[in-house]
């Protein structure tokens, strides 16, 4: 049986390598990005084609992946005369892989169901490196029968797929994962700043944390690579992290959960966004903590 055609919308830091994985597994690909040159380039290297707009993409695709910055942008891509909804065929499956807002996702899924179109929320964790290797951790919300329809495409991009419950649940899970990740980054950087003033080498501290109980994803994969190196180019935006923390706190609010530590964490990331400006990599957060204490983190060898 012929492979279903996959329409891929959003070819940024994550979408580009993910679309390449889908094409590499043999799925015919139609791509779309607000940056038309980018779409043309990805179409060329994957042997796919670029659609002029969402309507055309939807007319040609059986499965549609959205990998866009926010739920508002997903909404905008769906609506309008040339939007995705205008071209949808009954039976289409939409895999909403952006990190989105659970309530918005549920509303969109209900609306699409009236067109006999299924939406699953399938956000990812693992960053650009695991998007390139096809080893993302994928969370999937939706009905079991619907999930089966999207699973073969998801399997090309991730090495683990965890079913989280009904539609919207994966978007909640993803935001809560990033809350934990954001907190781990922040407390780790503050520990390095304290240790550095005490006379400890920050690079040595990272090594010790990584064989001790203070280890986390940031100590393992971010501090030496992107902070101590002063490269600040992990590939995940500070603005996107602040957006995800807002989603996590929205879930806390709707569930009536008291979370002072999470609120402080969001305040800190938002403070960094305001102080440092838009468009930066999230690892610049360390520079905000440095500004507060008046020191910079460098390995002792320097």
128 near ligand NAD (CB under 6 A): yes
End-to-end CA distance of the chain: give it in Å, rounded: 60
CB 120 within 8 A of CB 95: yes
98 near ligand NAD (CB under 6 A): yes
* Residues belonging to the chain: 302
Q: Which is nearer to ligand NAD, 205 or 286 (CB)?
A: 286
272 near ligand NAD (CB under 6 A): no
Q: Which is nearer to ligand NAD, 128 or 203 (CB)?
A: 128
CB 77 within 8 A of CB 84: yes
76 near ligand NAD (CB under 6 A): yes
Residue 222 among the catalytic residues: no
Kindly write out the interface string for residues 105-124 of this chain, putting x where it contacts ligand NAD by CB under 6 A and - elsewhere: -------------------x
CB 295 within 8 A of CB 196: yes
Footprint (CB under 6 A) of ligand NAD, residues 132-191: none
Kindly write out the interface string for residues 241-270 of this chain, putting x where it contacts ligand NAD by CB under 6 A and - elsewhere: ---x--------------------------
Q: Which is nearer to ligand NAD, 9 or 182 (CB)?
A: 9
* Minimal distance, residue 263 CB to ligand NAD, in Å: 20
Size of the site for ligand NAD (CB under 6 A): 29
* Minimal distance, residue 33 CB to ligand NAD, in Å: 4
Marked catalytic residue, from 55, 174, 222, 243:
174
Q: Which is nearer to ligand NAD, 37 or 144 (CB)?
A: 37
Q: Which is nearer to ligand NAD, 126 or 195 (CB)?
A: 126
73 near ligand NAD (CB under 6 A): yes
CA 15, 100, 129, 271 dihedral sign is positive
77 near ligand NAD (CB under 6 A): yes
DSSP the chain: -PPPPEEEE--STTHHHHHHHHHHTT--EEEE-SSHHHHHHHHHHHT-EE-SSHHHHHHH-SEEEE--S-HHHHHHHHSSTTSHHHHPPTT-EEEE-S---HHHHHHHHHHHHTTT-EEEE--EESHHHHHHHT-EEEEEES-HHHHHHHHHHHTTTEEEEEEEESTTHHHHHHHHHHHHHHHHHHHHHHHHHHHHHHT--HHHHHHHHHTSTT--HHHHHTIIIIIITS----S-BHHHHHHHHHHHHHHHHHTT---HHHHHHHHHHHHHHHHH-SS-BGGGHHHHHHHHHT-----TT-
Binding piece for ligand NAD, criterion CB under 6 A, among 65-73, 108-116, 192-200, 225-233? 65-73
CA–CA separation, 159 and 155 (whole Å): 7
Footprint (CB under 6 A) of ligand NAD, residues 25-44: 32-35, 38
94 near ligand NAD (CB under 6 A): no
Q: Which is nearer to ligand NAD, 11 or 192 (CB)?
A: 11
240 near ligand NAD (CB under 6 A): yes
> Which sequence positions are flagged as catalytic?
174
Binding site for ligand NAD (CB under 6 A): 9-15, 32-35, 38, 67-69, 73, 76-77, 98-99, 124-125, 127-128, 235-237, 240, 244
């Amino acid at each position: 049986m012929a492979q279903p055609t996959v329409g891929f919308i959003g070819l940024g830091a994550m979408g580009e390598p993910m679309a390449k994985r889908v094409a590499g597994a043999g799925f015919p690909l139609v791509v779309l990005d607000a940056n038309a040159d980018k779409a043309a380039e990805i179409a060329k290297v994957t042997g796919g084609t670029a659609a002029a707009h969402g309507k055309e993409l939807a007319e040609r695709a059986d499965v549609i992946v959205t990998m866009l910055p926010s739920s508002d942008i997903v909404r905008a891509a769906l609506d309008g005369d040339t939007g995705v909804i205008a071209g949808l065929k009954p039976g289409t499956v939409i895999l909403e892989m952006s990190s989105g807002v659970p309530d918005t996702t549920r509303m969109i899924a209900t609306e699409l169901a009236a067109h006999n179109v299924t939406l699953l929320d399938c956000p990812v964790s693992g960053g650009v490196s695991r998007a390139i290797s096809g080893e993302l951790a994928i969370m999937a919300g939706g009905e079991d029968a619907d999930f089966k329809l999207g699973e073969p495409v998801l399997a090309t991009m991730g090495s683990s797929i965890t079913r989280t419950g009904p539609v919207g649940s994966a978007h909640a899970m993803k935001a809560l994962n990033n809350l934990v990740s954001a907190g781990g980054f922040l407390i780790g950087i503050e520990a390095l700043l304290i240790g550095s003033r005490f006379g400890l080498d920050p690079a040595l501290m990272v090594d010790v944390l990584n064989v001790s109980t203070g280890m986390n994803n940031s100590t393992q994969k971010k501090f030496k690579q992107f902070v101590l190196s002063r490269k600040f180019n992990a590939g995940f935006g500070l603005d996107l992290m602040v957006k995800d923390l807002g989603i996590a706190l929205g879930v806390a609010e709707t569930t009536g959960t008291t979370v002072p530590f999470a609120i402080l964490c969001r305040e800190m990331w938002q403070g960094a966004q305001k102080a440092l400006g838009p468009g930066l990599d999230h690892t610049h957060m360390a520079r905000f903590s440095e500004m507060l204490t008046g020191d910079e983190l460098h390995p002792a060898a320097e």
